[in-house]
Structure 1
Amino acid sequence: MPPQPPSNIAVSLLLLLLLLVSTAVEAHQRPSSSGSSALTEWRSAHASYYAADPEDSIGGACGFGDLGRNGYGMATAGLSESLFEKGAACGGCYEVRCVEELKYCLPGTSILVTATNFCAPNYGLPSDAGGVCNPPNHHFLMPIQAFEKIAIWKAGVMPIQYRRVKCVREGGVRFTIDGRGFFVTVLISNVAGAGDVTAVKIKGSNTGWLPMGRNWGQNWHISTDLNGQALSFELTSSDGVTLTSYNVAPKDWSFGKTFSGKQFPF
């Protein structure tokens, strides 16, 4: 008996399956709104500022601590929830410019800022009237020193354009080791290239590669005995680049110390 041609129902189901697979692949390949590979073009957002003393030790939700001492200075920004991505955006670099038709803009200017903080939403106010960092708003909260590079302070909350750019850093990636006993945390800072870190592995001289979890911001943690072992690190950034630095910390490392490894290309 010759094979029968597929029914209309079977053909329809096959076409639907192919469509679903194609959509899933496209969604997987589509970069996020803040990922380093996403923003080759300018996008719209808003910015506002806060008064900041350059002599202050300014912390933030990314954990970088004293931004001046750690090389970030005042060219920084707190990102709204829609951009911050629960800390995954920490360390990323953005070029920000004013929308030139506004009267308070400084024409032809832009500034490069690093994501070092979180601009928390205020759900007691609507997103278009006070809740500037509420989802789905894309908002940059900047020190006034950075804000005034692109606009006069009278602008207040101001429309801007932004795009993700490569970070340029001096020296290698820095690893600040903290914790207690078998609980080890590592703050990863001064990251070039994409600027952010999306996955971390640590290796003791007596262990294999062990994945670390994101504690908060760019602080990563693991619970294991690494005392008396030289430590190596494998980092992956949001653009898919992996960097391996061997024997970053010597076997006699101690909590509270900072060590330097290799650097991502930029």
Structure 2
Amino acid sequence: MGYSFKFHCFFVWIMVLSSTLCYSQDNFVKSRATYYGSPDRLGTPSGACGYGEYGRTVNDANVAGVSYRLYKKGSGCGACYQVRCTNPQLCTDDGVNIVVTDHGEGDKTDFILSPRAYGRLAKSDKADELYAFGVVYVEYKRIPCRYGGYKLQFKVHEHSKYPNYLAIAVLYQAGRSEILAAQIWQADRKEWIFMRRAYGAVFDTNPPSSGSISLRFQVSSSAGVYWVEASNALPNNWEAGVAYESDVQLE
């Protein structure tokens, strides 16, 4: 009887968890959004995810900083959301699809949008009115990221110092995935060593002294939590500021 009760509780827990995940992904959540100042209306290269120029222009600059609970200490970086404002006189039905590139919040907002993304909430002749509001009520939901023609890339952060210090940011993270952890292969010890999450989507470590670099990442997605390996992800003569494309594609 004890075994049956434990199994039943576990089954119920799984059902509740599954229901919660479905709700969080497939139903809209009510919130508020604003936008930040940017003379070119694009994203910012100094966002808290560490994406640099990629964070300024990815997804046609439809990007946003998000609240702490969506930022998730950095694992929320790269997530995609559909955001739409709830004023039918000013806003479109579909809103805008954004990529998380930064952390920021204010006045009970979950999203601080790039000016371009904020303007695309509005109907074609109502953008100026929407900008004048400054803060609007919205609803949002998590959606898969889609990057046609791109596989996962590993950008060597500009702060890296060859050959003694390596920091990487993960780019073009597709699907509903979140990267929870990163490891680097140490051939001399024949084991995977955890990299430190320096901040946002940036992981750093002391790299191996020679040879190409293999990486692997712990990923959370609709398929569960699992490890994805990228063999020879970086060449042995890697350079700071360069993004290297892998054969990996997340879903």
- Secondary structure of the corresponding residue to residue 120 of structure 2: coil
**Among 26, 31, 36, the residue aligned to 1:45:** 31
1:61 equivalent to 2:48? Answer: yes
For 2:84 and 2:111, how far apart are their aligned partners in 1? 11
1:149 equivalent to 2:127? Answer: no
Q: CA RMSD in A?
A: 3.4
Report the TM-score, using the length of structure 2 for normalisation.
0.78
- Secondary structure of the corresponding residue to residue 236 of structure 2: coil
For 1:75 and 1:166, how far apart are their aligned partners in 2? 15
Percent identity over the alignment is 21
Range with greater deviation from structure 2 (195-204 or 210-219): 195-204
For 1:193 and 1:104, how far apart are their aligned partners in 2? 30
Kept in 1, the 8 Å contact 2:84–2:121? The answer is yes
Counterpart of 2:248 in structure 1 is 263
* Count of residue pairs the alignment pairs up: 235
Deviation readout 1:79-103 (Å, 9 max, x if unpaired): 01222111110000001112144x3
Residues 259/154 of structure 1: CA separation in 2 closer, same or farther (3 Å cut): same
Letter in 2 for 1:220: F
Residues 142/57 of structure 1: CA separation in 2 closer, same or farther (3 Å cut): closer
Counterpart of 1:177 in structure 2 is 156
Letter in 2 for 1:86: K
Residues 24/36 of structure 1: CA separation in 2 closer, same or farther (3 Å cut): closer
Counterpart of 2:108 in structure 1 is 132
Report the TM-score, using the length of structure 1 for normalisation.
0.74
Query: Which one has a larger percent helix, Structure 1 or Structure 2?
Result: 2
Counterpart of 1:79 in structure 2 is 66
For 1:92 and 1:257, how far apart are their aligned partners in 2? 22
Counterpart of 2:236 in structure 1 is 251
Unaligned runs of 5+ in 1: 1-10, 122-130, 134-138
Residues 265/177 of structure 1: CA separation in 2 closer, same or farther (3 Å cut): closer
Superposition pairs of residues 1-266 of structure 1, within 5 angstroms: 22=9, 26=13, 30=17, 38-54=24-40, 58-67=45-54, 71-101=58-88, 103-106=89-92, 108-120=93-105, 131-133=107-109, 139-151=110-122, 152-169=130-147, 170-178=149-157, 179-180=160-161, 182-206=164-188, 207-223=190-206, 225-239=207-221, 240-266=225-251
Deviation readout 1:105-144 (Å, 9 max, x if unpaired): 23x23211001011145xxxxxxxxx324xxxxx111012
Letter in 1 for 2:68: E
Kept in 2, the 8 Å contact 1:59–1:67? The answer is no
Unaligned runs of 5+ in 2: 123-129
